Structure 1
Amino acid sequence: MRILSYGVSADAVDDYVCIGESTPVECLKFFVFNVITIFEGEYLRKPNSNNVQRLLQMGEARGFPVMMGSINCMHWQWKNCPKARKGMFVSGHKGVATIILEVVASSELYIWHAFVGDAGSNNDITVLDRSPIFDDVVQGRAP
């Protein structure tokens, strides 16, 4: 949890708890795998045909025909960014490292898509270009 919460390295955790470096890495992988396994069906999925129809009807009722949701990118401050990585991430207006988070949400605040920009993603356009958000549409697989 310390790795996820504070962004510390596995090496720092193994020194703190006095265990091998591979143990915290394996625990983190196990935790993330189980979160995905438990929540994937309901919360970590793409909208199906029924969801798309419902979202389109909601958008049309609000005066936005053919709108399923709203896409937005935000800079999320990485307070404990390791010094070695600080130069790879955008420095915000206060000179701190930030990670760009791209999210698509519907009016009912259901998050249909989330993507964290890679190192070196310095603006919303770069993140959108690297994001898989439109891959299914381009490949003809979107509902």
Structure 2
Amino acid sequence: MNKPLFLRIVHRLSTEVPYFQATEDAAGRRSLSPLQKCTAAIRRLAYGGGADTVDEYVRLGETTARKCLHKFTAGIIHLFGDQYLRLPTPEDLDRLLRDGEERGFPGMVGSIDCMHWEWKNCPTSWRGMYSRGTGKPTMVLEAVASHDLWI
């Protein structure tokens, strides 16, 4: 993720979502910064680690890391969902196809990326349907994005 996009997300979350606003406790100690909370959530999403994987990197406990991820995803859906997390309109598809053709990729709508996420609580009776040779059930997360997504 590029730095301007990351800082835009942190700024919007810290100004519009109360959980990401810095506060002080009764003893005058500052809470975790919006940067720490967003970094923890994005690292967990990017690398798929457990809640305890960010404890040393951004100095968060397991419970706080879990809450950061929950609040982060809810905040992203609330703030950016209408613009970015939606089905493309016919106008979007026309624009994406035109952009792809100009870049030498006729018929391409966007770049696709897939990631297998381990499904730790997969029901036992479904394990075989969601395993792909590793013995661990996974779900596939797919995303399609255009070159101008970060704007």
Fold agreement, TM-score > 0.5: no
TM-score (norm 2): 0.39
| TM-score in terms of structure 1 length | 0.41
Tell which has more relative contact order, 1 or 2 (C-alpha 8 A, sep 6+): 1
Q: Compare the two structures and name the one with the higher strand fraction.
A: 1
